[in-house]
Structure 1
């Protein structure tokens, strides 16, 4: 009666020979050195071919090492040599709620961030005048610069960069930027 180990070894060799006839010669050479090390589940079947990564057409004629899609939005504003401090800021999610939402629940809104329509970014800017503030809003990035402060903020949710508003409160020395969020179902949710 054959032992289970010998039969299994013969079955693995036969299966390997069926799936990859060229590998048979290499296996024989390895078996002479160490018979048990030559056969394992990774040796069954054809060897995987090493694939070279596909090169996009934009790289074929260029010496660029990355495309614009690979660079995170807002990274062009990162200036490591700029010693200006980051001001205190706060990001608040806002939603429009009426009496029909509070008392009757007609619109199906809940307190979660999925029901929010806007982002409110409050930035404290002590000793700053409105004329000194430079604000640039992108879909996922807010860049604010003054002579004393610099804020590069990656937004937690994409926004409509052209539909926001900003207010500067001189007495509080605070800038409030309200940005409408881009939501997947905006065409349904907006009224």
Structure 2
């Protein structure tokens, strides 16, 4: 059985005690081995005290045209200077269900999102006319602009943007965008 020696206890005490002036530390640790005086702050190269340490990004290459601080994080479609508010929206997944699916279960469809064929995006646009709406739909991004609102929406699933349709309901002041979902493995997932 190993006994804890006085030297080991002194080394542990020196390691756990708060650092004081360098002079006091030298006096306390005369009998402690050098490796016991190390703490996590001693890992890595020693800090240079004559140079000021800065956290600013330094260009690595002289051919860099901007630094990391100059590049805004987020969507490539975001316009930070545009202060228009984002309208309320809702994403609903849709599937075509017939009586053979509902009562007999012949097609193998279930209520999960894996069996959905289309995505419906409902966007509330109060005080907006249909002629004011500018809509651009990519495979995974919907960009909507009106004089009062802007919406840059990353879609949860890839879509066939060319097969979609949009309808504006003036009485509800709501735009409905229906997009067929692009699922490359649908022939396996759905019979």
**What's the TM-score once normalised by structure 2's chain length?**
0.61
- 1:83 counterpart = 2:113: no
Q: 1:179, CA displacement in angstroms?
A: 0.5
Q: 1:184, CA displacement in angstroms?
A: 2.8
Q: Tell me which residue corresponds to 1:100.
A: 100
Partners of 2:109 and 2:190 within 8 A in 1: no
Map of 1:51-70 to 2, 5 A cutoff?
Answer: none
- 1:133 counterpart = 2:136: no
Cα distance change of structure 1 residues 162 and 190 upon mapping to structure 2, 3 Å threshold: farther
Q: Tell me which residue corresponds to 1:27.
A: none
Q: Give the whole-Å Cα distance in 1 for the aligned partners of 2:156 and 2:174.
A: 21
Q: Tell me which residue corresponds to 1:165.
A: 165
Q: Tell me which residue corresponds to 1:149.
A: 149
Q: Tell me which residue corresponds to 1:58.
A: none
Stretches of structure 1 that go unaligned for 5 or more consecutive residues are 1-33, 38-61, 66-70
Q: Give the whole-Å Cα distance in 1 for the aligned partners of 2:97 and 2:124.
A: 27
Q: Tell me which residue corresponds to 2:174.
A: 174
Q: 1:77, CA displacement in angstroms?
A: 1.6
What RMSD in Å do the two structures reach over aligned CA positions? 3.6
CA offsets per residue over residues 132-168 of structure 1, 9 Å max, x none?
1000101111000000000000101111111100000
Tell me the SS of whatever aligns to 2:131: helix
Q: Give the whole-Å Cα distance in 1 for the aligned partners of 2:175 and 2:80.
A: 24
Q: Give the whole-Å Cα distance in 1 for the aligned partners of 2:176 and 2:109.
A: 25
Q: Give the whole-Å Cα distance in 2 for the aligned partners of 1:123 and 1:112.
A: 24
Tell me the SS of whatever aligns to 1:172: coil
- 1:118 counterpart = 2:105: no
Tell me the SS of whatever aligns to 1:77: coil
CA offsets per residue over residues 38-77 of structure 1, 9 Å max, x none?
xxxxxxxxxxxxxxxxxxxxxxxx9689xxxxx98xx232
Higher helix share: 1
Cα distance change of structure 1 residues 140 and 123 upon mapping to structure 2, 3 Å threshold: same
